[in-house]
Amino acid sequence: MLNIVLFGPPGAGKGTQSQKL
């Protein structure tokens, strides 16, 4: 989960970040 925060700020949307992974 920490990796998701590194890819982008929590405000950007956790769902969007997880898709990038």
- For 1-21, the pLDDT digits (tens) are 455 555 666 655 565 555 555
Phi and psi torsions of 3, nearest 5°: -60, -40
Decide if 4 contacts 21 (C-beta within 8 A). yes
pLDDT at 3: 52
Q: Tell me the pTM.
A: 0.11
pLDDT at 17: 56
pLDDT at 11: 59
Name, in order, each residue with C-beta under 8 angstroms of 20's C-beta and a sequence gap of 6 or more. 7
